[in-house]
Amino acid sequence: MACHSGRASTAARAKRPGHRRHRARPYGPAIPALDALLALNGLLAPATAAAQTLHISVIGGTAGVGKTALAVYWAHQVAERLPDGWLFVNLRGFDPWGLPVSGTEAIRGLLEALGLPPTRIPLNPDARAALCRSLLAGRRMLVLLDNARDAEQVRPLLPGSPGHLVVVTSRSQLTGLVATRRRNSAVP
């Protein structure tokens, strides 16, 4: 399972020896992503201005259209505006070479990405999820959940506190994640 953590602080990155900042390559003219980027940017403004809500956006589409590339590109563009960084989890929902990542396995990866040593991660799945939510509480982060199979796979990974921005990529529509819809925030 791939679970990565990104930090928004350039000063902290500069202090680590041998660390180089990698940027996603810009989109070429063949990928019409401007509308999608504008929709994602529209979510960022309220999320960073007032950390009162958990914002979730789903980028859906068929295989190979660039959902992950768009999400990662956007995350790199806005990383400086999310003071506590970002987390990336490949859920392998439609991976032809393996099974989808379970919620328990994904939460373990998130805990490790947040800096928790493997020996301190609880064995009990409920305790593991509670610890992850506790570590995310009070932070403002982007959580990127890539290649989700369905809403049931995503739901246990959602932060339990406001102030976070969650972007999910999937071949499915994931309508089970919609709680209220004030505007159409789903990216085509």
pLDDT at 149: 94
Domain 1-7+67-180 - what CATH class? alpha beta
CA distance linking residue 51 with residue 151, whole number of Å: 24
Exposed, middle or buried: residue 25 (CB in 10 Å: 0-12, 13-18, 19+)? exposed
The pLDDT, as a whole number, for residue 5 is 54
CA distance 125 to 66: 33
Ranges of residues in the chain whose predicted pLDDT is under 70: 1-52, 178-188
- pTM, full prediction: 0.74
Closest CA to 145 of 127, 136, 158: 158
Instruction: Give residue 80's pLDDT.
Output: 80
What is the rounded distance in angstroms from the CA atom of residue 71 to the CA atom of residue 120? 31
Amino acid at 106: A
Q: What is the pLDDT of residue 1?
A: 52
Token duo for residue 143: 């959580």
